[in-house]
Amino acid sequence: MLKGYRRLVYVCITAVLILVFAGYFNNKNKVHAEAVGVVNVSGYLNVRKGPGTSYALLKSGGTGITLTNGQKVSITAKSGNWYNVSFKLNGKNHKGYVMGSYIKVQGGSVCTSVTASVNGGDLQLMEQASATGPCVQAGTGESDVIIPDGSEVTLMDETTKDGQKWYYILYNYEDEAYEGYVKAESLKISYGKGIPGIWEGSAKTPLYKNAGKSTVVKNAGKKVNVGIKKQFTIIKERTASKKRYFYIKVRAGKKTVYGYLPASSARFQIVQTEQDSPAEATETPLPEEPDTTEEPEATEGPEATETPAAASPGPAATKLPAPAEPMTDDEFKKKLQDDGFPDSYIKPLMELHGKFPYWEFEVFNTGLKWATVIKKESVVGVNLLSVNKSYDWKSTEEGAYDWKTDKYIPHDGSTWVAASEKAVKYYMDPRNFLDERGIFQFESLEYRSEAQTQDGVEKILNNTPMRDKKFTYTSASGGKSEIKYSEAFMKAAESSGVSPYHLASRVKQEVVISPTLMSTSVSGTVSGYEGIYNFYNIGAYSSTAAGGAVANGLKWASTGDTYNRPWNDRYKSITGGAEYIGKNYINVGQ
């Protein structure tokens, strides 16, 4: 297989964008939550440094950043017709401005303010979220600000302290603006057609048919749960048994359902209003096929050599929980086209959809020209392959082949030689691998909690000594604990952000010898390194020294204090190694 191979297009099997909330505001007003929008264009949408076309394009690596149809963004502020958005692209976090008319928002529009009225008596405005804290002072500071019953106020933020929810509000009185805290139950919210909300509880919550009751809402016979960071529209509220409940509408699968959830852990999504943008504030999407993303002709593989087969995946490693019904062929084809896949990708992806209807695919647009990429990747010594490959695969350029001796020049050891341009083209063209085996080289290696399960890890560990097995380790409290290998990989995924399927597969490749035997790297019995484990063989480079690669890897695992080293138990090795892989490879876009 080609060494040093880099992907041009990222086809994600379990595609879920992880949204990063960020932003800045031009005034002191507090705003807690952002809205989530989806790009709605037929081509590509420019991202700019400010709210208007007079501002420069936002760039990454010298290339202008564009967003594709269907991509999610966090809307942190609104400026005229423009949105200040944050998003993750190609493994990096970005923030900039886009034209609001090309962003679809849950609920139909961005919520920039929530109005309410004082309900139940006059209110003191507090400087802090505390009934005993100092009051906001009026005028010269000689009297407290008292808000009369029935007065209108504007919500800007909310917080919970000691189980009590407080709203941070703006109150205007006689040309003066006062800000401070009041208890949530002292206000009557104006919900209008609904206010965007988000669940910020520490765990998912059932959706109830009635406030204060235990009967849950069901969809297709299954209980509807509102997960952490799930968004919805708040329609109204009720109080039952002295507790506030929001009545919401929320998507469950392909249906919209209605019900109640506790207001204590639900927040409004209020977007900050920035200063108005310049008059020149319109944007037109880029054409569907911009010059920076030229599509090459499909390239053929060199003759007389078989194409390499991708490793067989774990059965559960690539499926999201199945929706009620998969997309039809026509729906799937339209989605691929809307997402920006070139026509030459549609047919093979349609064939995969026919076999695996729940798989999902996502475009990764590099913004690079094919000719430029091939020129740079074909430089002698950049990409190597085995000298045993047939003639067409190997380069005969200067520095790659010695015409006098009729021999290929090795660039790594004695058997790795420079790849030919034709071989580079073959490996760089994703269309040569859009089948049920090759597709897995494009699988997302990020942790996706909604799609990756401990049961899936167990399937990957099948035919290994780790299948359904436990080991003992020292817990953070110093006591002895027991855990399954599969659970340890899930814990490692949570802390590192790396797919547990990738972690388990990597360990399986590195240290599993047979269904009953593993490498001495994880035995804990190697002389001089007793009690040291290295499940990923990090630092295990080959050498002629005693112990070779295993000793080098154990030496690395036993020294230093980064990544939870020394790895003097299996749990530290599995989780610490995952953090190393995440920080140095997966989470930086490799």
Q: What is the pLDDT of residues 512-522, one digit of tens each?
A: 999 999 999 99
Q: Residue-wise over 371-398: b if at least 16 C-beta within 10 A, else e?
A: eebbeebbebbebbbebebeeebbbeee
Q: Is the peptide bond before 566 cis (omega within 30 degrees of 0)?
A: yes
Asked if residue 26 is part of any domain, the answer here is no
Domain match, 464 and 518 both: yes
pLDDT of res. 194: 87
| Number of domains comprising the chain | 5
Domain match, 182 and 206 both: no
Radius of gyration, alpha carbons of the chain: 29
Give the span between the Cα atoms of 76 and 74, in whole angstroms. Answer: 6
Q: How many CA atoms lie within 13 A of 86 on its CB side?
A: 16
pLDDT of res. 140: 65
Higher pLDDT, 368 or 399: 399
Would you say residue 348 has pLDDT above 90?
Answer: yes
Helical pair 421-428 and 370-377, crossing angle rounded to 10 deg: 130
Domain match, 258 and 333 both: no
- Give percent of the chain with pLDDT exceeding 90: 43
pLDDT of res. 542: 65
Domain match, 210 and 173 both: no
Domain match, 372 and 383 both: yes
pLDDT of res. 210: 94
| Confidence bin at 277 (pLDDT 50/70/90) | very low
Diameter of the chain by CA atoms?
Answer: 98
Q: Residue-wise over 264-273: b if at least 16 C-beta within 10 A, else e?
A: bbbbbbbbbb
Where is 345: in which H helix or E strand? helix 343-355
Average pLDDT for 528-532: 95
Are the C-beta atoms of 554 and 565 separated by less than 8 Å? no
3-state secondary structure of 31: coil
Q: Which domain holds residue 102?
A: 35-112
- Give percent of the chain with pLDDT exceeding 70: 83
State how beta strands 205-206 and 384-386 pair.
unpaired
Domain match, 43 and 141 both: no
Give the span between the Cα atoms of 344 and 111, in whole angstroms. Answer: 41
pLDDT of res. 546: 57
Residue with tokens 């440094």: 49
Higher pLDDT, 589 or 133: 133
pLDDT tens readout for residues 440-466: 888 889 898 888 999 999 999 999 999
| Confidence bin at 360 (pLDDT 50/70/90) | confident
Would you say residue 76 has pLDDT above 90?
Answer: no
pLDDT of res. 526: 94
> Which CATH number does the domain housing residue 93 bear?
2.30.30.40
Q: Which of these ranges, 280-294, 416-430, 446-460, 461-475, has the smallest mean pLDDT? A: 280-294
Higher pLDDT, 501 or 290: 501
Q: Choose one of 270, 305, 333: the last residue of a domain.
A: 270
Q: How many CA atoms lie within 13 A of 349 on its CB side?
A: 27
Higher pLDDT, 578 or 586: 578
3-state secondary structure of 344: helix
Asked if residue 282 is part of any domain, the answer here is no
Give the span between the Cα atoms of 261 and 255, in whole angstroms. Answer: 18
Average pLDDT for 76-93: 85
Domain match, 440 and 477 both: no
| Confidence bin at 508 (pLDDT 50/70/90) | very high
Would you say residue 309 has pLDDT above 50?
Answer: no
Q: Choose one of 83, 112, 141: the last residue of a domain.
A: 112
Average pLDDT for 524-548: 85
Give the span between the Cα atoms of 15 and 468, in whole angstroms. Answer: 28
| Confidence bin at 104 (pLDDT 50/70/90) | confident
pLDDT of res. 312: 32
Are the C-beta atoms of 89 and 79 separated by less than 8 Å? no
Average pLDDT for 364-379: 87
Asked if residue 281 is part of any domain, the answer here is no
In order of 115, 154, 168, 455, 524, the CA distances from 189 in angstroms are 6, 10, 13, 45, 62
Q: How many other C-beta atoms lie within 10 A of the C-beta of residue 495?
A: 14
| Confidence bin at 294 (pLDDT 50/70/90) | very low
Asked if residue 40 is part of any domain, the answer here is yes
Domain match, 166 and 223 both: no
Domain match, 466 and 526 both: yes
pLDDT tens readout for residues 126-161: 999 998 888 988 876 678 889 999 999 999 888 888
pLDDT tens readout for residues 8-65: 233 333 333 222 223 333 334 454 556 788 888 877 788 999 888 888 889 887 778 8
pLDDT tens readout for residues 313-343: 333 333 444 444 778 888 899 999 888 888 8
State the chain's mean pLDDT as an integer.
82
Give the span between the Cα atoms of 550 and 127, in whole angstroms. Answer: 62
pLDDT of res. 132: 87
Would you say residue 106 has pLDDT above 70?
Answer: no
| Confidence bin at 468 (pLDDT 50/70/90) | very high
Asked if residue 469 is part of any domain, the answer here is yes
Give the span between the Cα atoms of 581 and 367, in whole angstroms. Answer: 26
Asked if residue 29 is part of any domain, the answer here is no
Would you say residue 286 has pLDDT above 70?
Answer: no
Domain match, 337 and 397 both: yes
Asked if residue 30 is part of any domain, the answer here is no
Would you say residue 232 has pLDDT above 50?
Answer: yes
Domain match, 10 and 63 both: no
Q: Choose one of 161, 189, 217: the last residue of a domain.
A: 189
Residue 563 phi, psi (nearest 5): 55, 35
Domain match, 108 and 119 both: no
Asked if residue 27 is part of any domain, the answer here is no
Residue 96 phi, psi (nearest 5): -170, -165
> Which CATH number does the domain housing residue 141 bear?
2.30.30
Would you say residue 234 has pLDDT above 80?
Answer: yes
